Amino acid sequence: MAKPIILTLDDEPQVLNAVERDLRQHFRSDYRIIKSNSGVEALQVIQKLKQRNDPVALFLVDQRMPELSGTDFLDQARKIYPDAKKVLLTAYADNDAAIASINTIGLDYYLMKPWDPPEENLYPVLDDLLSDWQATVPLPFDGIRVAGTLWSAKCHDVKDFLGRNRIPYQWLDIEIDLQARELVDRVSEDQYRLPVVFFPDGSIMIEPDDLELAEKVGLQTRATQPFYDLIIVGAGPAGLGAAVYGASEGLRTLLIEKKATGGQAGTSSRIENYLGFPQGLSGADLARRATAQAKRLGTEILTAQQAINVRVEDPYRYVTLADGKELGCRALIITSGVTVRTLDAPGVEALTGAGIYYGAALTEAANYKEKPIIVVGGANSAGQGAMFFARYASKVTMMVRGSSLSKSMSQYLIDQIQAQENIEVLVNSEVEESFGKNRLESIKIKNNETGEFQTIPAAAMFIFIGAVPHSELVTGVVETNRAGFILTGQDLFSENRKPEGWKLKRDPYLLETSVPGIFAAGDIRQGAVRRVASAVGEGAISVSFVHQYLKTV
Ligand SMILES: Cc1cc2nc3c(=O)[nH]c(=O)nc-3n(C[C@H](O)[C@H](O)[C@H](O)COP(=O)(O)OP(=O)(O)OC[C@H]3O[C@@H](n4cnc5c(N)ncnc54)[C@H](O)[C@@H]3O)c2cc1C
């Protein structure tokens, strides 16, 4: 596929050459750089590019030009390439024009001339805009293709893994697409195992697991060193928060994630209450931004690697991975979060992945256009899910065990749900049984107040019913409560006595566990406020306690 294009425009040859040189130096490997010294000529060039379906990612244009000002050029160019990012090169005197064009033509940024050094004044701005462009603009497709059936749990797992790791892929449903079926028949040699994943280099994988897929698509799965200052287990908001602060404050930091960065938040269709994003943002967007930030600051991130055990050998802490490797560190933060509770009713397990999903399973939503969908649960996550699915479904039925939504859901969401015509809320209701041959077809519902039953058609059911902590890896190492949530700080004191085995004179720090140097942050902690902002905040705070701890060892 042709590389996306950065077009730069300036009538002064010296400036134009300098911009071109700096752009090539940094972006040459991923982008084609085109330069022009005339606005009129550049407009003709982009007309031709459009005819060839070549993608243009960014215009970097001088404001002061004789025949067409930078703003006028961008105004014309955006009609041809509406998604391309628009950056103006300005002199001090052009400030007012630049500010005005933020509103008039949706200018993305204006840069002051001169931009030296480009590492500080040019590249960070353009990197940010281009990563935003890449994340939101679909390119002509020539990437990974996943062929399978909608009703296979394994196909769902593969799509979910790729989607949550922001690896673009094309879904080929072999029940609808005859060519895709032939493609699969040719390679599966009667075994008929699904999905079959086709890669652009011509290779294929049949029914791959997360680790195989991660390695194939180029995600980092192995640590580069045996020992780190700080290891963090779990790359949800708490782990990413800790990674950003740990790496930026000079700690050699490794973040280990078993599935995809972003954690539960990464599966949220829209987070509306995270500070600084007045329009809200999707969990995928938050995960992408936070991951890029943590990496840029120097964090190493392993994906598709599960930490299964923690061992203490003072003054070091060791983490064993599922592949048997052991990694050492001076301090450890557990941010392994929680996972959704499973629904125990006849038929549910058999149809999980075949119409029944836990959490928002956003990758599946588009498959249920104009079909009836059930959402089980009454907390905010269920409400957000219902609002998201309502965009696709003919009808969304929300099943809530309690007598009203107000006991468990924020008022802003209740208002949105009430205003959404195709959502119906059934209170006092529980799933009695689910039915379907190869895929979900209907649900039997019990009214827990009247004892009455009803069966309604359902193409999909998305379940949001509470959480179980991921603390198996520290069982018997640090203290947890009976449900498995990790105790930290003041929660470790019973009857004013320090935790068993605690030998230090000082008390455990705020987010420290019963083992000095092992910290816990986010949803995995007993008493955590299960919110993105608090998880991020705890991740950041835990790093300041890591520093205090490291001063003492
Ligand atoms: C659908 C949904 C919508 C939500 N919406 C909102 C919202 O709008 N606003 C809000 O404030 N909060 C929201 N929340 C809650 C919020 O997402 C959580 O409070 C937050 O994600 C907790 O962050 P965390 O980092 O503690 O844990 P998690 O997000 O659970 O992340 C933990 C990570 O650790 C990984 N992991 C677990 N065990 C291991 C292991 N052994 N080895 C390696 N990795 C491991 C997991 O794969 C996961 O990626 C929502 C939650 C859900 C499910």
DSSP notation for 326-390? EEEEEEEEE---EEEPPP-STTTTTTBTTTEEES--HHHHGGGTTSEEEEE--SHHHHHHHHHHT
Question: Which of 336, 338, 464 is the pocket-test mutation for ligand 1 (most atoms within 8 Å of CB)?
Answer: 336
**Which atom of ligand 1 is nearest the CA belonging to 472?**
41
State if residue 470 touches ligand 1 by the CB under 6 angstroms criterion: yes
Alpha-carbon gap, residue 504 to 483, rounded angstroms: 27
Which pLDDT score, from 0 to 100, does residue 98 have?
82
Which pLDDT score, from 0 to 100, does residue 140 have?
54
Which pLDDT score, from 0 to 100, does residue 549 have?
98
**Which atom of ligand 1 is nearest the CA belonging to 538?**
26
Q: Are strands 429-435 and 442-447 parallel, antiparallel or unpaired?
A: antiparallel
Q: Are strands 372-376 and 460-463 parallel, antiparallel or unpaired?
A: parallel
pLDDT above 70: residue 52: no
pLDDT above 80: residue 139: no
Residue 92 CB partners (closer than 8 Å, separation 6+): 112
Which pLDDT score, from 0 to 100, does residue 51 have?
67
Question: Which of 471, 532, 534, 541 is the pocket-test mutation for ligand 1 (most atoms within 8 Å of CB)?
Answer: 532
**Which of the two residues, 524 and 94, has the higher pLDDT score?**
524
For residue 234, the CA-to-ligand 1 centroid distance in Å is 9
DSSP designation for 2: P
**Which of the two residues, 546 and 136, has the higher pLDDT score?**
546
Instruction: Tokens for 399, please give them.
Output: 């099943």
The predicted-structure confidence for 500-519, as pLDDT tens digits, reads as follows 889 999 999 999 999 999 99
pTM score over 0.85: no
The 10 Å Cβ neighbour count of residue 429 is 21
Instruction: Tokens for 272, please give them.
Output: 């509306």
Query: Is the separation of the CB atoms in 360 and 388 below 8 Å?
Result: yes
pLDDT above 60: residue 141: no
One-letter-per-residue 3-state SS of 188-255: HCCCCCCCEEECCCCCEEECCCHHHHHHHCCCCCCCCCCEEEEEEECCCHHHHHHHHHHHHCCCCEEE
The predicted-structure confidence for 379-396, as pLDDT tens digits, reads as follows 888 999 999 999 999 999
pLDDT above 90: residue 366: no
Question: Mapping DSSP to helix (H, G, I), strand (E, B) and coil, where does residue 406 land?
Answer: helix
State if residue 164 touches ligand 1 by the CB under 6 angstroms criterion: no
Comparing 111-115, 229-233, 428-432, 446-450, the range with the smallest average pLDDT is 111-115
Comparing 194-198, 201-205, 479-483, 542-546, the range with the smallest average pLDDT is 201-205
**Which atom of ligand 1 is nearest the CA belonging to 262?**
49
Mean pLDDT, rounded, of the chain: 92
Going by pLDDT thresholds of 50, 70 and 90, the confidence category of residue 72 is very high
- Angle between helices 411-419 and 380-389 in degrees, nearest 10: 30
Selection from 289, 260, 240 nearest residue 532 by Cα: 240
Alpha-carbon gap, residue 246 to 266, rounded angstroms: 21
State if residue 338 touches ligand 1 by the CB under 6 angstroms criterion: yes
For residue 307, the CA-to-ligand 1 centroid distance in Å is 16
pLDDT above 90: residue 269: no
Comparing 70-74, 91-95, 128-132, 535-539, the range with the smallest average pLDDT is 91-95
Q: Fill in the amino acid letter for 114.
A: P
Number of H helices, E strands in the chain: 15, 26
Q: What is the mean pLDDT of residues 30-35?
A: 96
Cis bond leading into 114, ω under 30°?
A: yes
For residue 263, the CA-to-ligand 1 centroid distance in Å is 4
The predicted-structure confidence for 147-174, as pLDDT tens digits, reads as follows 999 888 899 999 999 999 989 898 999 9
The predicted-structure confidence for 189-247, as pLDDT tens digits, reads as follows 767 789 999 887 778 999 999 999 999 999 999 999 999 999 999 999 999 999 999 99
Residue nearest to atom 34 of ligand 1 (CA): 234
Alpha-carbon gap, residue 139 to 201, rounded angstroms: 18
